[in-house]
Amino acid sequence: MFKVNENYLKLPGSYLFSTIGKKVNAYAQENLDKKIIRLGIGDVTQPLAPVVIEALHKAVDEMGHAETFHGYAPDLGYEFLRKAIVEHDYQARGCKIALDEVFISDGAKSDSGNIGDIFALENKIAVCDPVYPVYVDTNAMAGRTGEYLEETQKWSNVIYMPCTAETNFAPELPSEEPDLIYLCFPNNPTGSTITKKELQKWVDYALKVGAVIIYDAAYEAYITEEEVPHSIYECEGAAACAIEIRSFSKNAGFTGTRLGFTVIPKELKCKGVSLNSLWARRQGTKFNGAPYIVQRAGEAVYSEEGRKQTKEQIAYYMRNAKVICEGLVSAGYTVSGGVNAPYIWLKTPKGMSSWEFFDYLLEQANVVGTPGAGFGPSGEGYFRLTAFGSYENTLEAMERIKRL
Ligand code: MLT
């Protein structure tokens, strides 16, 4: 008789954004006359930049001719895209990353979920609390997190690093030594960031205790402050202890187009075994690459025009972030984030729990957000709004919230 992976049975509920999606759809079905504004999941709303569309069309045409047709992509991804990434994301910031240290993928979510494949089950993970649920759920699926404890809403074998108002929503070095440390800056969900000097402390710590940092930099394009690093490789020694995961979803609107990449420096080794070669083996076996046409679209993001057009999109979303922050503050809310990130983290009013506030906002203002508790126990009493809506909807959502 076959057996299922029982680790899945330990997972509480469904994936956070699926739960929210179901709740909102049920409400929408029962309230057909209501215009719901969705500022929950961090999904973009602006169309792809014209230069990206042009590149897609061109690549589609190439696929229609035998001479320019492309089949399976190379294991690591096309060199034209890896070159653009190395040059613009790394060399331009003084980071020495080689072409064969970049692995093109179909997005940061799958990479951050799959990266656990190359690590032993015995590794103990440390995560921020609140945290992007994919890091924890995928480790739970692998059987690395112990048991889920309903009373504390924590896993028994996970090191939680509370990110609270007292710590400026940034984690502090854990007292118990982890093997794998998940960091995400600018942070999802709180929108917080740390300076290069602070990130250097994490790199030094990882090198000291022999841990690997899995650094999710999906929101780096939203950084506005000078002292905030765009890549962990800006820190000294990071190439020997850090993996960086990036996405085209938030900087160029590829949430539906799917493209991302992971950087694993060859210097990153465990007892002489290179993680770069393990990941190459994993991807070569389990993944057939992002489509040629999408990789061409990704290349266009790095062209001069592409950088200009995507910068305008980011400015558009950051204008929304400002509208949300200012609107909430004027309505008396305590707010953070929204400066280097498209997420605004607010304290729920009148002692409401995050799910109570979710229902209240949905029913009274027809605005959807994400309850902080869905990201971990320290998220209780908080709520996340995204700046990825349209400007008009964002303005309207704020007007509705102010009227509550
Ligand atoms: C979020 O809303 O946290 C993200 O959009 C989810 C994701 O990127 O997978």
Mean pLDDT in residue range 224-244: 98
Residue 301's pLDDT band, with cuts at 50, 70 and 90, is: very high
Mean pLDDT in residue range 185-198: 98
SS (H, E, C) 171-235: CCCCCCCCCEEEEECCCCCCCCCCCHHHHHHHHHHHHHHCCEEEEECCCHHHCCCCCCCCCHHHC
Q: Which residues does residue 149 pair with via DSSP β-bridges, in sequence order?
A: 154
Mean pLDDT in residue range 257-269: 98
Residue 294's pLDDT band, with cuts at 50, 70 and 90, is: very high
Q: Is residue 133 lining ligand 1, measured as CB closer than 6 Å? A: no
Residue 214 has pLDDT above 90, yes or no: yes
Q: Is residue 384 lining ligand 1, measured as CB closer than 6 Å? A: no
Residue 14's pLDDT band, with cuts at 50, 70 and 90, is: confident
Provide the mean pLDDT of the chain.
Answer: 97
Q: Which of 15, 41, 106 has most ligand 1 atoms within 8 Å of its beta carbon, as the pocket-test mutant? A: 41
- Give 392 Cα–ligand 1 centroid separation in angstroms: 22
What global pTM score does this model have?
Answer: 0.97
User: Exposed (0-12), middle (13-18) or buried (19+): which is 27, by Cβ within 10 Å?
Assistant: middle
| CA distances for 71 relative to 61, 75, 252, 283, angstroms | 14, 12, 25, 17
Contact 356, 12 (CB under 8 A): no
Residue 13 has pLDDT above 90, yes or no: no
- Give 127 Cα–ligand 1 centroid separation in angstroms: 17
- Give 41 Cα–ligand 1 centroid separation in angstroms: 6
Residue 15 has pLDDT above 90, yes or no: no
Contact 184, 129 (CB under 8 A): no
Q: Is residue 138 lining ligand 1, measured as CB closer than 6 Å? A: no
Q: Which of ligand 1's atoms lies nearest the C-alpha of 43?
A: 5
Torsion angle, CA of 27/382/340/325, rounded to 10 degrees? 70
Torsion angle, CA of 146/147/152/158, rounded to 10 degrees? 10
Pick from 240, 201, 199: nearest CA to 216: 199
Pairing mode of beta strands 37-38, 367-368 = parallel
106-140 pLDDT tens trace:
999 999 999 999 999 999 999 999 999 999 999 99
Pick from 53, 32, 72: nearest CA to 257: 53
Q: Whose CA is nearest to atom 3 of ligand 1?
A: 42
Q: Is residue 188 lining ligand 1, measured as CB closer than 6 Å? A: yes
Q: Which residues does residue 273 pair with via DSSP β-bridges, in sequence order?
A: 270
- Give 43 Cα–ligand 1 centroid separation in angstroms: 7
- Give 383 Cα–ligand 1 centroid separation in angstroms: 14
Q: What is the pLDDT of residue 242?
A: 98
Contact 386, 40 (CB under 8 A): yes
Compute the distance between CA of residue 354 and CA of residue 240 in angstroms, rounded to an integer.
39
Q: Is residue 336 lining ligand 1, measured as CB closer than 6 Å? A: no
- Give 16 Cα–ligand 1 centroid separation in angstroms: 10
Q: What is the pLDDT of residue 124?
A: 98
* CA 44 from centre of chain: 13
309-348 pLDDT tens trace:
999 999 999 999 999 999 999 999 999 999 999 999 999 9
Q: Whose CA is nearest to atom 9 of ligand 1?
A: 109
Q: Which of ligand 1's atoms lies nearest the C-alpha of 255?
A: 8
Question: How many Cβ atoms from other residues are within 10 Å of residue 213's Cβ?
Answer: 24
Q: Is residue 42 lining ligand 1, measured as CB closer than 6 Å? A: yes
Mean pLDDT in residue range 55-83: 97
Residue 184's pLDDT band, with cuts at 50, 70 and 90, is: very high
Q: What is the pLDDT of residue 398?
A: 98
Residue 302 has pLDDT above 90, yes or no: yes
Mean pLDDT in residue range 66-83: 97
Q: Which of ligand 1's atoms lies nearest the C-alpha of 40?
A: 2
Residue 270 has pLDDT above 90, yes or no: yes
Residue 27 has pLDDT above 90, yes or no: yes
**Pairwise pLDDT comparison (13 vs 86), residue with the higher score:** 86
Q: What is the pLDDT of residue 82?
A: 98
- Give 42 Cα–ligand 1 centroid separation in angstroms: 5
